[in-house]
Amino acid sequence: MKQILYIGIYSEGSTSKMRADKLKGILLNWEMDVINTDIPKRAMWRVWQSIGFRYKKGPLISRVNRYVLNNLEDKHYDLIWVDKAIYLTKRTTQLLRQHTYKLVHYTPDPAFTFHRSKLFYESMPLYDFVVTTKSFELFDFVQVMGNKNKVLFATQGFDKALHRPIVEWEKKKGVAFIGHYEKERRLPIVKLLQNEIDVTLAGIGWDKFVKSHQSPYLHYLGRGVFGEDYVHAISGCLYAWGSVSKWIPEKHTTRTFEIPACKTALLTERNDEIEGFFAEDEVIYYDGIENLIEKIKYFNEHPLELKTLIEKGYQKVQTSGFDYESIIRSLLQKIQVL
């Protein structure tokens, strides 16, 4: 029987666990071992977690690497899949390299423009393949790897089992935004509220905004909603804002696919990447805040058109390989283990 080792966060509700579970589901005849790097991290004081995350130094680094090596069984794997290896040292990666025919790294995060890690950069050339969801970082990955054929691009995705329509059409209303606060995201939310449009809001950093913008149209769910609660928040609205971050040159995010998968209309700015995913009648493109408000008011007055658009968006993500299983299966084919 073939063997796979998954190394990464394997805690409930994490997208990392979703990927691991999809690997397990696709490679049904393989025996899978898991090393959950979230276990040593959560066992540490928050101050050490914060220092380790910010600077990739301190007790967190040594503890995570020791945990991985202590749980590395004495056997040879056909595939070792490492998820978000920002804490793993070159020495640890070299030892993993000795235990597998194929060493693969995957990250959905910006590895050069935000989650910078010297440890990861030093380890990268040891991998057979590295996978990124950030098209704007492809050049950086190729520069470090020294071989463009070892760098794979995958879109972000959604989980068909989780992200689904669960709120009836008649009960849906307003606009949802689930994501962290950025100053560029403040004004659109203000404008929606000023136009008496219901807004369901959740995410890190919105507390001060909520205190200063008391409104009967604002429904604040707290610093974060996850799993079924996240799906209910998105599915319970007619529209959801797919805002891409302005902190990095991001062009799409998990929301880009999760929103249509919940049978909710995706509100999105235009860029070449998203226009390559969706046609004009599958999502609601807007150009500027005023145009965003106009589009919402138009579709509120034309519910049948909105319902048709939502259905088309839903069908697009269901049939175009944007779900995690399809994405993982495609990657496994490219790295030649399927």
State the pLDDT at residue 15: 87
Residues 327 and 297 in one domain: no
> Could you give the CA distance from residue 326 to residue 154 in angstroms, rounded to a whole number?
11
Same domain, residue pair 182 and 132: no
The pLDDT value given to residue 115: 86
In a shared domain, residues 312 and 199: yes
The SS3 assignment for 217 reads: coil
Residues 119 and 225 in one domain: no
For residue 72, what are the CA distances in angstroms to 76, 80, 135? 10, 11, 33
Say what the pLDDT of residue 202 is: 98
Domain that holds residue 243: 169-319
* Contact yes or no for 293/287 (Cβ under 8 A): no
- How far is residue 258's CA from residue 253's CA, in Å, rounded to a whole number? 9
Residues 124 and 49 in one domain: yes
Let me know whether 44 and 143 are in one domain.
yes
CATH number at residue 127: 3.40.50.2000
Look at the alpha carbons of 188, 285, 256, 259 in this order and tell me if their dihedral is positive or negative: positive
Residue 204, φ and ψ in degrees, nearest 5 = -70, 135
21 token code pair: 């579970």
Q: Is residue 71 part of a domain?
A: yes
Local structure of 265: helix, strand or coil? strand
In a domain, 164, yes or no: no
315 domain residue, yes or no: yes
**What would the DSSP string read from start to end of 171-184?**
G--SEEEES---HH
For each of the chain's 338 residues, which pLDDT tens digit applies?
999 999 999 998 788 998 999 999 999 999 999 999 999 999 999 999 999 899 999 999 999 999 999 999 999 999 999 999 999 999 999 999 999 999 999 999 999 998 899 999 999 999 999 999 999 999 999 999 999 999 999 999 999 999 999 999 999 999 999 999 999 999 999 999 999 999 999 999 999 999 999 999 999 999 989 899 999 999 999 999 999 998 889 999 999 999 999 999 999 999 999 999 999 999 999 999 999 999 999 999 999 999 999 999 999 999 999 999 999 999 999 999 98
Q: Looking at the domain assignment, is residue 26 inside a domain?
A: yes
If asked whether residues 130 and 42 sit together in one domain, one would say yes
CA distance 123 to 57: 16
> How far is Cα 5 from Cα 45, in angstroms, rounded to an integer?
28
From the list 260, 211, 251, the residue with the least C-alpha distance to 231 is: 260
162 part of a folded domain: no
Left if phi > 0, otherwise alpha if psi is -120 to 50, otherwise beta: which for 320? alpha
Give residue 280's pLDDT.
Answer: 97
* Same domain, residue pair 219 and 304: yes
